Amino acid sequence: MDKSLIGDPLSRVDGRLKVTGGAKYSGEWELPGLAYGVLVPATITNGSVVSMDVKAAERAPGVLAVITPFNTPGVPGFKPDASQPVRGLKLFNDKLIYFNGQPIALVVAESFEKATHAASLVKASYQQDVFETDFDKNRDKGVVPQGGKYKDYVRGEADAYKKAPVVIEQEYRQPSEMHNPMELHVTIAAWDGDDKVTVYTKSQGVIGTQRSIANAFGLKPENVQVNSRFVGGAFGSSLRTWPHEIASVMAAKLLKRPVKLTLTREQMFTLVGHRPLTIQKIGLGATSDGKLVGITHESISQTAVYEEFTEGSVNVSRFLYESPNANTRYKVIPLNVGVPAPMRGPGEATGSFALESALDELAFALKMDPIELRLKNYTERDPERNLPWSSKYLKECYTRGAERIGWENRPSKPGTLREGEWLAGYGIGCGAFGAFRGRALAKVRMMADGTVNIQSATSDIGPGTGTAMTLIASDLLGVPAGRITFELGNSSFPTAPTQGGSSTVSSVGSAVHDACMAFKQKMYALAGMPENSSDPIDYVAVLKQHNLPFFELTEESQSSQQAKNYSMYSFSAHFAKVHVHPLTGAVKVKRLIAVVDAGRIVSYKTASSQMIGGAVGGIGMALTEEAIFDHKYGRYVNGNFADYHVPVNADIQDIEAIFIDKPDPYINPIGTKGIGEISLIGVAAAIANAVFNATGKRVRELPITPDKLI
């Protein structure tokens, strides 16, 4: 893998299709007889539906069906005695209401406009119960999640930080952030008889969606065809099969015609998950020269009353820095909200904001440079698992990032550096996320003309999966990238894991690697050459010699036993320079440098794009994004794009990604680790720390809005 093609700045192989409108997304398929579904939301926050008046809706022009809890055809997997019961919210299965906006009916009509009009005519009477949406009011109701995974963690002595000469104790607050990718969630379902169904949906894992739908309707997995070739952004919102997807399949079966169900933008705020509101307490204790004595990290976050959601917000404090004593505690509060979901950097993004902010506060208390403090507590092996790292170049990240951002210009005394009328400051925030490799398969087929087709049932939610796989195959086979096509997003292709957890290139890339290597060995054998030959081979001549119109093989790839002897993580160090206006409190991120230790970088161009995209998300987390609840009615005040603020072009200035680009020797044959999560983890802390350096004001509650600075 030392050839020049790996890392080559190849443009996205599907880029032209996307920018010219040739890419067909899930909601753009036109099927004969297609009907349109619109969900009707509940207007209460807790209780039950007593009765529903759907007569006006049923009489409305073009209406085909109005499905409610009173006439639902039912889903086999909803039954308690199902072999594999559907988890989470089961739409129309009962009359209970768990959160405001929960769907209570599905109207299906001949057009989307007619379905929307008819949905507005559905009336419901409710039995209202007391609801709880106020996190602070219910904070004492936090519970340890089910199972042993989230029990309290203790290494050494619990709360040992309290005995240290220098102590930091602070609380940090992260509001709910909502999943709102550009593409709305859309599902089209079409049955072929009673035992086969084809589904077009926004999915990060077509195999997982296939399995979920098969379980729900009692079908063989091979009788469920799931298509999701193009995904207009997801980063967690499509990791699971949502209730509305099951509802569309149910409606299509009832009507015996294809049904397309599209969520509205407002419904995206309630039905596809969110980063949960979380409050964290950090206790750090250190010696006077900056050596950590103890770390205590407590986190409590919201979940739904009908389904428990958990994430590893405290985990980063167990291993990122050397400390003889470390302990974590994690709880959740069930509230009348839609269930949260993993959101880019799940858990670790939230946890790193608290830990990295607290570390910055400790550095200030010690009158020590924040990078010096991190180096003082650098870990040469994983202190949580007591294993060596498979690879770790975080020190190099510190050095290169500090040099690039101009860290020497950072004032040791906050609020003293001005650039024109603006206060200026610098901050650092570090990120870490597990480097994973799952089981994956890939099929390689070469045609008689030398063109290559590769298939794997993976997804591409934006990082450029097809581009990376094309580069790997081109490098190994010696075939130009323009003569290789990589197909994905189809459940009939060889099995691949869901795209999540920054593991796609490591998992699917390894399958492509192994399949290409096996293919070359077969070709060498057919040519009568030694398997380990380094001589070039004329594939077309070999196929012609054996009168083969094509040659194909499928290869499976998975992690080695040796990998279990190492702790595997990707690391990042984010450096921010900000300007803060002293009169208005406006914050501008002038520069953001992301330095990445993620093994071998397969595609510099798309990897840089990944890092920039993650940084933009981190800017939103730090400065703009916040879901606001009206606790009188139990619903979001800003459940729309006008009032829920995401970063726009004017907010984004200079962002740069720097890659250490040293292969990990143990994780996979390519030596690559993931970057999707660490592109965001640590960014919010870097910005918050830079704001403190600029102003001397420490903001511990995100987002950092002007009212918190003036």
Name the β-bridge partners of 570: 433
Query: What contacts 650, CB < 8 A, 6 or more positions away?
Result: none
Report CA 525 to chain centroid distance, whole Å: 43
**Reduced to 3 states, what is the DSSP secondary structure of residue 328?**
strand
Distances in whole angstroms, Cα of residue 392 to Cα of each of 1, 455, 665: 20, 33, 11
Helices (H), 46-173: 55-59, 112-119
Kindly report whether the peptide bond that precedes residue 703 is cis, defined as omega within 30 degrees of 0. yes
Extract the tokens encoding 653: 């200035």
Extract the tokens encoding 575: 């450096």
Whether the Cβ atoms of residue 580 and residue 586 lie closer than 8 Å to each other: yes
511: nearest Cα among 447, 471, 456: 456
Residues in the chain: 710
Residue in this structure with the two tokens 């703009």, named with its chain if needed? 624
Question: Which residue type, as a one-letter code, is found at position 514?
Answer: D
Distances in whole angstroms, Cα of residue 525 to Cα of each of 242, 449, 474, 521, 543: 48, 19, 20, 6, 12
DSSP codes joined into one string, 419-486: ETTEEEEEEEEEEEEE-----EEEEEEEETTS-EEEE-S---SSS-HHHHHHHHHHHHH---GGGEEE
Query: What contacts 584, CB < 8 A, 6 or more positions away?
Result: 706, 710
Give the number of other CB atoms < 10 A from CB of residue 305: 17
Whether the Cβ atoms of residue 161 and residue 294 lie closer than 8 Å to each other: yes
What is the Cα–Cα distance from 594 to 679, expressed in whole angstroms?
7
Name the β-bridge partners of 282: 170, 297
Query: What contacts 633, CB < 8 A, 6 or more positions away?
Result: 45, 100
Give the dihedral sign, CA 376/378/381/385. Answer: positive
Backbone conformation region of residue 288, classed left if phi is above 0, alpha if psi is from -120 to 50, else beta: alpha
DSSP strand E in 54-194: where? Answer: 63-67, 96-97, 103-109, 123-128, 153-155, 166-174, 177-178, 186-191
Q: Which residues are catalytic?
A: 677
Which DSSP state fits 558?
A: -
